[in-house]
Structure formats: C-alpha cells, structure tokens
Amino acid sequence: MMVSRTRRRRKLRIRCLRVRLTTVYYAMQMSTRMLILETSHRVAKVALALDDTIVGERTLDEQRRHARDLVPAIQRLLQAQTWRARELDAVIVSRGPGSYTGLRVGIMSAKTLVFASGCALLAIDTFDAIATCGLALMNSASAKPQAANLDVIADAQQGNVYAQRFGTRPEPLLIVSFDKWLESARACNVAVAGPGLETFGERVHGVNVLPKDAWHSEPASLLKLGLERFRKGERDEPFAVEPLYLRASSAEVKWDNLKKG
C-alpha cells in the first residue's frame, strides 16, 4: 500500500513538473526576441533583447565596425543565448544621422539578417533614441527642471551641426551653422545632448548640457522605441530603408566633382 502511494505521488510530481516546463516553453515562445544594431557612432554596439530586457551586449571600437567584425559579434551573442537567427522576431537598427560608414554597415547587416531569417525590420532615427534617454533624464525626480525642450546635435562638418528639437515645442531635423544653433538654443532655454558635443562642447555656454552618458544612442533606447512600434504591428520595408542623410558624404561630393570635371 505504501509503495503504491509513493508511486502515485511520484507520478503526480512528474506531471506537475511537465506542466511547469510546458508553461515556460510556451511563454518563451510568445516572448519577443530582438537584435539591436547601433552603428551611428565611432563606437558601435550590438545587443539582444527578450521583450523589454537587454540580455546580451557587445561593443565594437572604431577599428572593428566593419561588416566582417559585426557579423561574428552577432553570432557570438546568439550563441551565448542559444538562439538561432531564424528565431529572431525583429532587427532594430539605428538609421542616423551619424557616421556614414557605420550607418551603411549597420543597415546593410540588418537587411541581410532580415532577408535570411524572415523577421521584421525596424529602423529608428538616431536622434529619437538620444532624445528618449535625454528627456527621461530631464524629467526624472532627481533632475532639476531647467528646460522644457531638448536639442540633439551632431557634427555636420564645416562648422555646421545637425540639430533637432524635442519636447513641448519640437522642430524638425536640419543642418545649421553652430553659431546660429547656439543663438537659438540660448534664446529658447533648451537643454542639449548628442555626439556633436564631442566637437563643439567647449563652445557651448549658456545652455544646460546633459551628462556624457546621454550624448549617444544606446541599445536600450532603440529597444524602447522599436518594441513600441513592433507591438503596434509596424514594420519597415527593407528595400526602402536607407541611412538618414541630409547631405552627401565627403566621398560622394568628391566623386561628383570628379564626374563634373
């Protein structure tokens, strides 16, 4: 009698364990797996996310931002999570403005993965990702409310900056001289972030400059924006996604001049 009861209890425990494992399996199947590519800056970052959590991240320096380095980094991240590329639900990629070479490598790699795996592609404006982090910092309980709007800037060469305003009075992305932008920023009492501060930071006076860790697009911010779009059912057409440029690169300008000559 005792042996029979023990066996029944053992079978019951096994069935319960199987139910738990099955529940976990289907929960994992319903989770959203995403690859994130941030190559707009000199330092590139590759990350994997499960729903809204970054589960793996690698950093590539300026000398290792090429496709031949990006692909192995992606493979190592996938192996660390025991994921396969075809199990990805989406690839999120930063589309600029930023480094011409970096953006092209990132977008080309994203498109290749999307075509190979059949997952969704979500291209996110780099300044939107920076602003997401910056505005959250400005609105945090520990921050002193000094400005209602945030300008994100990047070096556009020849004394110009890419500039875009976010907040209560947003303005579109444009190219403007640094001096003209600074005059507007002071007049409108905005805060500022963005990679352009690496070039122009010492000349920025009379404006609230956010901490350095808010100057660049990060995988976490790209994930926040990309996941919101994914859950709304939004997708980008791979053939239509291109780096966000407002002007030709210096190499393209030289090539055009050679053709005209």
Which residues does the chain have with pLDDT short of 70? 1-9, 11-12, 14-29, 62-67, 141-146, 246-261
In a domain, 113, yes or no: yes
90 occurs within a structural domain: yes
Return the pLDDT at 68: 74
The tally of domains found in the chain comes to: 2
Q: What is the structure's pLDDT at 24?
A: 42
The answer to whether residues 137 and 122 belong to one domain is no
pLDDT score recorded for residue 148: 85
- The whole-number pLDDT of residue 99 equals 85
The three-state DSSP-derived secondary structure of 194-240 is CCCHHHHHHHCCCCEECCHHHCCCCHHHHHHHHHHHHHCCCCCCHHH
The pLDDT tens digits for 53-81 are 999 999 987 666 566 788 899 999 999 99
Q: For residue 83, what are the domain limits?
A: 29-126+217-248
Spatial distance between the Cα atoms of 72 and 66, rounded to a whole number of angstroms: 11
User: b/e per residue, 99-122, with b = 16+ CB within 10 A?
Assistant: bbbbbbbbbebbbebbeebebbbb
**Same-domain check for residues 43 and 65:** yes
The CATH number of the domain holding residue 33 is 3.30.420.40
Does residue 54 share a domain with residue 41? yes
Report yes or no on 13 lying in a domain. no
For residues 209 and 136, state if they share a domain: yes
pLDDT of residue 6: 67
Residues 36 and 114 in one domain: yes
pLDDT score for 219: 97
In a domain, residue 171? The reply is yes
Residues 6+ apart with CB under 8 A from 135: 150, 166, 167
| Pair (133, 165) in one structural domain | yes
Asked if residue 204 and residue 158 are part of one domain, the reply reads: yes
- Residues 142-173: pLDDT tens digits? 655 567 899 999 999 899 999 999 999 999 99
According to the model, what pLDDT value does residue 95 have?
Answer: 96
Same domain for 198 and 138: yes
In a domain, 185, yes or no: yes
- The span from the CA of 188 to the CA of 139, in Å, is 18
Where among 172, 195, 214 does a domain terminate? 214
Is the residue at 259 inside a domain? Answer: no
Query: How many angstroms separate the CA atoms of 39 and 105, rounded?
Result: 8
Using CB atoms within 10 Å of the CB of residue 67, give its burial: 0 to 12 exposed, 13 to 18 middle, 19+ buried: middle
Q: Is residue 1 part of a domain?
A: no
